[in-house]
Structure 1
Amino acid sequence: MHVRIAPIRAFLQKTDMSSTYLIRPALADDAPRIAVLGAQVWIHTYATAGISEVIAQYVLASFTPERFRTLAQDPGAVMLVAEREGNLAGYIVVRFASQHADIQTEIETLYVQACFAGQGIGSGLLTRAKEIALTKTGSRSIWLMVNSQNESAIAFYRSLGMKQDGLTYFELGGVKHENKVMIAVD
């Protein structure tokens, strides 16, 4: 079944009295900036003991412009970026038909550069993702996985009303890292 959705438009979001940012669909031309931002956020979040060989290999293999060019064209996903003054500040990847507990919409990735944390960019990206999910699936419900040691991200998701609904593990270099499964049911 092919579901037709309205085109995803860009939206201006206000973060405070003087700052605005733009949320728009990612383009293939954004891929190098998304790759760098993704690598920077991932390293800042997960490489707290430094850069091991395993981490270096994972980042170099996972955060490539080619991967993000492909993802920007993936019909089973939507990738949005947030920009401020033409500079990338964050991005979100929304995956459909990736089901958990009868919820069809997964937030595969939500990364905001640390210097933009607390400015409404993450919540703005999530709001747009939920609107797209409603159009695509008929529900604003979402699920995601977050590293169990990423306390600031967990607190952020909880502040938005998300609740833990299980555990899963991300394996890197033979080491399992616990992740919380979080859901928002609308």
Structure 2
Amino acid sequence: MMLRPAEVSDAAALAALSIEVWVYTYLRNGVSSFFADYALRTFTAASFSKAVRAGSETILVSQNTQGIDGFVRLSENRAAPVAGCGTLEISSLYVQPRHHGKGIGAALLRAAIDRACSLGATDVWLTTNAENSPAIRFYLGNGFEKVGEAAFQIQDQGFLNNVYRLQLNPPRDEV
């Protein structure tokens, strides 16, 4: 496994991997047009190409001998849906399901935390579906704490998400 910054030439692979992970994780009972439209509209090569070029986004990929098997995306200047969080979001951490349990997610998370520290962040936050038990266990096991709930919106439908926060540098008076 090699971790590296994403390049514009990775955009199509990032889009395909995102669709694979999102569908596998959230669409357990079939794929409706509602969710298919969302995934195909959201996870595009054009949107990833734009994100790779953006100065406020950091995308790090895990690459094996065949291609990208996971990535993490940090988004700066993002207001959290609950109070008490900074403005640096881990907006995606996706690993191909067939590669779960190999340490890829943990390596990507460590790299994202290192990047957050290099940006001077004192915390990072993220959301995950409230029913995504494997992700919840992963984040809690890596020091995140649940700090609230929010709705993930697709058109007029909301889906319950948990909000998690990881404090990176404790305030001086707590040391």
> What's the TM-score, normalizing by structure 2?
0.90
Aligned partner (choices 138, 153, 159) of residue 171 of structure 1: 153
Aligned partner of 2:134: which letter? S
Coordinate RMSD, CA, aligned: 1.2
**SS of residue in 1 equivalent to 2:87:** strand
1:158 equivalenced with 2:140 (yes/no): yes
Structure whose residues are more often strand by fraction: 1
Instruction: Give per-residue Cα distances to partners, 1:60-105, cap 9 Å, x unaligned.
Output: 1011111110010011110111011142110111011224424232
CA distance in 2, matches of 1:102, 1:182: 9
CA distance in 1, matches of 2:94, 2:113: 16
Q: What is the total number of aligned residue pairs between the two structures?
A: 165
1:112 is the counterpart of 2:92: no
User: Which of residues 13, 19, 29 in structure 2 aligns to 1:39?
Assistant: 19
Counterparts of 1:63 and 1:99, CA distance in 2: 22
- Checking the alignment, whether the CA contact within 8 Å between 1:54 and 1:173 is kept in structure 2 is no
Q: Identical aligned pairs, as a percentage?
A: 30
Residue segments in structure 2 that go unaligned for 5+ positions in a row: 169-175
Give yes or no for contact 2:85–2:165 (8 Å, CA) kept in 1. no
Q: CA deviation at 1:49?
A: 1.9
**Runs of 4+ with >3 A deviation:** none
Q: Which amino acid aligns with 1:154?
A: I
Q: 1:138, 1:146 → 2: CA distance?
A: 21
C-alpha change, 1:60 and 1:138, in structure 2 (3 Å) is closer
Secondary structure of the residue that 1:137 maps to in structure 2? coil
Structure 1 gap segments, 5+ residues each: 1-20
SS, match of residue 157 in structure 1 = helix
User: What amino acid maps onto 1:25 in structure 2?
Assistant: P
Equivalent in 60, 70, 77 of residue 97 of structure 1: 77
